[in-house]
Structure 1
Amino acid sequence: MRENEILLIVGAGHAGAELAVAARQQGWLGRIDLIGDEAMLPYQRPPLSKAYLHGAASFESLALRPASAYEAARVQVHSDAQLVQIDRAGHRVHLQDGRVMPYTKLALCMGGRPRTLVLPGLDAGAKPRNLHYLRTLTDADAIRAGLKEGARLVVLGGGYVGLELAASARKFGAEVTVIEALPRVLARVTGAQVAAFYEAVHREAGVQLRTGLSVERAELADDGAITALVCASGERIAADIVVAGIGMLPNVELAQAAGLAIDGGIVVDAFSQTSDPDIFAAGDCTAHHSALYNRHIRLESVPNALEQARAAASALCGKPKPNHAVPWFWSDQYDLKLQMVGLSQGHDACVLRGDPASRRFIAFYLKEGVVIAADAVNRPADFMLAKRLVAAGVRVDGPALGDESVSLKDRLPASPAAPATVAQLG
């Protein structure tokens, strides 16, 4: 590394902000430029659907770091700047305002964007004023402005963000309806038992959960606002506010146009390096091979973004440390903290430890007797042990795993061993 080298980071979310500071801490000597397309410094996104939305967290508390931290790390932050082209041959990027910025090494931390709601009745070129998505601080402010006692909120999508939003809206006294096209909420991310628990919690809190229901068209007022959503069943659901939480698309188009390998995301290795040795990537826009599950995955997860950013910083500074972290996530709804580790897709058994009626339990997902994932509700100590069980690929006796008279620590291997992969189990 030389002092005249330039590390250019595109994307000022969790991954980009972490990479900028970590690279300096790891010994990057040259210039570090951090480009963000929003007008503010990097901030936390998870609270947008939770604490910030219902007023428990302030705007100031969202900042990942104060301005002084970037100054101390000699990171030049360029806010309100939009990338439009990557010139790999010239080692430079073009911004929407006409600026051209050079790089020695480039890091793409561009995240993703909400999937757009497309329905008959909606004009693709004119978003109704009361239709919102939730990805940015501006989005959260727009939603919060419409939440009040008696406001009719319709949330499309029963994933974690949709349910978190529903829980936050109930704190305002809003009338909330969640519409999920699949037979149950959280269908893509958790097992039936945990989904049933959350459905019961939300219904108890007054949320109208409508599963297995697809929306056919939107009805609009003269001013273009959505007044109701009409379902395939013919049911008409009136709305003052509509929030679409129907998935996220990774921002890969510019990387693809530049010729980088794309497979569901910008392909990176364990060091967060792309198919171009001078370009790294981290966060929601990436996809990688999971050694634990022996398959290609893309994760929308703050912990994954941070781990990939740290791996990139280490590699950029000549201290490569591969990232083999086990995926984990969290969700806060009402008084419940849900902590998840691993990926439960493909499990053939689910073992509950604790009683869901107590609102404190953990669900273990097994494949051929091996723990591949776990969802812990208000059980932080069990969650920490579950992370170790999943990482180690521990084979267990299912009924014994659910026996609370037997310590989870007794299920851990006596000595470190190579974890089993899902492929080895099949």
Structure 2
Amino acid sequence: MTVNDCESKGAGMEAGHCVIVGGGHAVAQLTASLRQEGWTGPITLVSAETVLPYHRPPLSKAFLCGNDSDDTLLIRPREFYEKQAIDVRLGVRAQAIDRNARRLTLDDGTTLAWDKLVLATGAQVRRLNAPGESLANVFYLREIADVHALRAAVVPGARAVIVGGGYIGLEVAASLRKSGLEVTVLEAQPRVLQRVTAPEVSAFYTRVHEEEGVRLLTNVAIEAIEGEGRVRSVLLRDGRRLDADLVIVGVGVLPATTLAEQVGLKVDNGIVVNEQARTSDPDIYAIGDCTRHFNPLYARWLRLESVQNANDQARTAALALCGKPEPYRALPWFWSDQFDLKLQIAGLSEGFDDVVMRGDPRQGRSFAAFYYREGRLIAVDAINRPKEFMLSKRFLASQQSADPQRIADESIDIKDCFVL
């Protein structure tokens, strides 16, 4: 293993300069973990956003329709960065990396010398390729600035069209309905959440959203967004026209890999990193949504867009940078809040060949879906079932499965359903 800064420090040398590019969850965790693990050298945080690292999940939920200030979202207060001697550069964008000289050029013309560089550049929204996409009141939702722009249009009675029936689209739909807007969700696939859930779970979310007054249209495509200066309607390819006062686009994200590509780092649907979050350059690390890593629990390469992955990768990178390498071996988990539903997901259901329900998704608002592949449990969707989520998360991380027949029988305690 290559000797890094903290290993050198342990031999009596001063730790070098660590420069971090990005401003999300991974960055907030990395700055804290570096200091906790013993990094004594200077740390500089460079973020194109003008706000310190903040919690992003509330952007599509309570923060969207509330009046909270930006500070309520901060992961750590300003005083933390001052106390930990973190040099914070907000509102500046990293433009170029010189790997040989170990210098980072910013768009304000300044350069930073680094000994270790960490890319936490996150992801960028996938744009909608349709005429009228640039009209006023067409919004994307990724950063806090997007919410500030959108809030002015969130008024009771306004007609909102949401493009995309994934988690973000449905979360926004729930938030806008609670604020009194008329909401229509457009999904190109035959069902909402098609890429990430079983048909039974999709049907459940369709039922709940319709019960709450959301209009869901599936198997539809947009021909154009219409209006003069600002959006007035959405034209579908089947000829239908939907009146709209605002349009919110949530059709996924793309990893922000431009910097990495410019300097020849290995990129393949994300910046490729090893089990210590190191890129193909041993002095450059990458963490969070921009990365692709090999997950030993699922024996395949993954690019994850989750707070859990961002935080866990940041801790892994900090350990490696400080000479205490441990392999990244985390079970992916996620959550989504919609209306009175708390969905908690343990593991990855992609590739499942069987799904077993614990509870009835056709009625009420509480059940869990257990996903199997070749007879082995690989993931769980728990809706208002915290016990099922917590136990499943623990057992999946230790690669234990669960008896499907016992899982389906709610008279059996969930902890008694798991087997080695």
TM-score bracket for this pair, using the shorter chain length: over 0.9
Which residue of the other structure, out of 201, 204, 214, is the alignment partner of 1:194? Answer: 201
Tell me the residue number matched to 2:230. Answer: 225
Structural mapping, 1:317-328, within 5 Å: 317-328=322-333
| Deviation for aligned residue 1:195 | 1.0
The equivalent of 1:338 in structure 2 is 343
Residue 16 of structure 1 corresponds to which residue in structure 2? 27
Question: How far apart are 1:18 and its partner, in Å?
Answer: 0.9
Give unmatched runs, 5+ long, in structure 1.
415-426
Match of 1:401 in 2: 407
1:260 to 247, 261, 265: 265
Indicate whether 1:303 and 2:311 are aligned. no
1:384 to 390, 396, 399: 390
Give the C-alpha shift of residue 408 in structure 1: 2.0
Matched, 1:159 2:166: yes
The Cα of 1:389 is off from its aligned counterpart by 3.0
- Structure 2 unmatched ranges of 5 or more: 1-8
| 1:265-304, Cα deviation, whole Å (9 max, x unpaired) | 0001121111110000100000011112221110000010
Is this contact kept in 1: 2:401–2:418, CA < 8 A?
no
**CA distance change for structure 1 residues 56 and 324 in 2, over 3 Å: closer, same or farther?**
farther
Q: Could you tell me which residue of structure 1 aligns to residue 4 of structure 2?
A: none
TM-score between both structures, scaled by the size of structure 2? 0.95
Structure 1 residue aligned with 2:71, among 48, 57, 60?
60
Q: What secondary structure sits across from 2:175 in the alignment?
A: helix
Establish whether residue 39 from structure 1 lines up as the match of residue 82 from structure 2.
no
Look up the match of 1:85: 96
* Aligned mates of 1:49, 1:327 — CA distance in 2: 21
1:96-150 residue CA offsets vs partner (Å, 9 max, x unmatched): 010100100000000011111111344xxxx222111001111112212101111
Rounded to whole Å, the distance in 2 between the matches of 1:271 and 1:343 is: 22
- DSSP 3-state at the match of 1:189: coil
1:308-336 residue CA offsets vs partner (Å, 9 max, x unmatched): 00000000000112111000000000111
Structure 2: distance between partners of 1:319 and 1:15: 19
Q: By how many angstroms is 1:59 displaced?
A: 2.7
Question: Which whole-Å CA distance do the structure 2 matches of 1:176 and 1:149 have between them?
Answer: 11
Q: Which segment drifts farther, 391-400 or 268-277?
A: 391-400
The answer to whether structure 1 residue 175 and structure 2 residue 182 are counterparts is yes
State whether structure 2 residue 79 is matched by structure 1 residue 74: no
8 Å CA contact 1:52, 1:59 repeated in 2? no
Residues 12 and 35, structure 1, Cα contact 8 Å, conserved in 2 = yes
1:371, 1:389 within 8 Å by CA — same for their partners in 2? no
Structure 2: which amino acid aligns with 1:278?
Answer: D
**Aligned equivalent of 1:359, options 348, 358, 365:** 365
Residue 16 of structure 1 aligns with an amino acid whose one-letter code is V
Q: Which amino acid aligns with 2:365?
A: R
Deviation at 1:358, TM superposition (A): 2.6
Equivalent AA in structure 1 for residue 359 of structure 2: G
Matched, 1:370 2:376: yes
Structure 2 counterpart of 1:328, one-letter code: W
CA distance in 2, matches of 1:247, 1:318: 36
* CA displacement at 1:401 relative to structure 2: 1.3
SS in structure 2 opposite 1:218? strand
Identity among equivalent positions (%) equals 50
Shift in alpha-carbon separation, 1:160–1:48, aligned structure 2, 3 A:
same
3-state secondary structure, aligned to 1:362:
strand
Q: Once the 2 structures are TM-superposed, how far is the Cα of residue 366 of structure 1 from its aligned partner?
A: 0.5
Which residue number corresponds to residue 3 of structure 2?
Answer: none
TM-score (norm 1): 0.93
Q: Indicate which of 129, 132, 143 corresponds to 1:118.
A: 129
Is the Cα contact below 8 Å between 2:401 and 2:419 reproduced in 1? no
Distance in 2, matches of 1:92 and 1:51, equals: 40
Q: CA RMSD in A?
A: 1.3
Shift, 1:56, TM fit: 7.5
Asked if 1:150 is matched to 2:157, the reply is: yes
Q: Are the equivalent residues in 1 in contact too, given 2:123–2:255 (CA < 8 A)?
A: yes
Contact 2:403 2:419 in 1 (8 A): no
Give the whole-Å Cα distance in 1 for the aligned partners of 2:26 and 2:292.
14
Matched letter for residue 89 of structure 1: N
Q: Which of 111, 114, 117 pairs up with 1:103?
A: 114
Call closer, same or farther: CA 1:175–1:144 in 2, change over 3 Å.
same
Q: Deviations over 1:24-53 (max 9, x none)?
A: 110001000011111121111100000111
Q: Which residue of the partner structure matches residue 139 of structure 1?
A: 146
User: Per the alignment, do residues 57 and 374 of structure 1 end up closer, same or farther by CA in structure 2, a change over 3 Å counting?
Assistant: farther
Other-structure match for 1:51:
62
1:172 and 1:395, CA in 2 relative to 1: closer, same or farther beyond 3 A? closer
SS of the residue corresponding to residue 62 of structure 2 reads: coil
Query: Conserved in 2, the CA contact under 8 Å of 1:388 and 1:412?
Result: no
SS for the counterpart of 1:143 is helix
Report the equivalent of 2:285. 280
Deviation at 1:259, TM superposition (A): 0.6
SS in 2 for 1:9: strand
Distance 2:117 2:388 in 1: 40
> Could you tell me how far 1:234 is from its partner in structure 2?
0.5
Amino acid at match of 2:239: G
Which amino acid in structure 1 is aligned with residue 24 of structure 2? G
Q: Which amino acid aligns with 2:158?
A: A
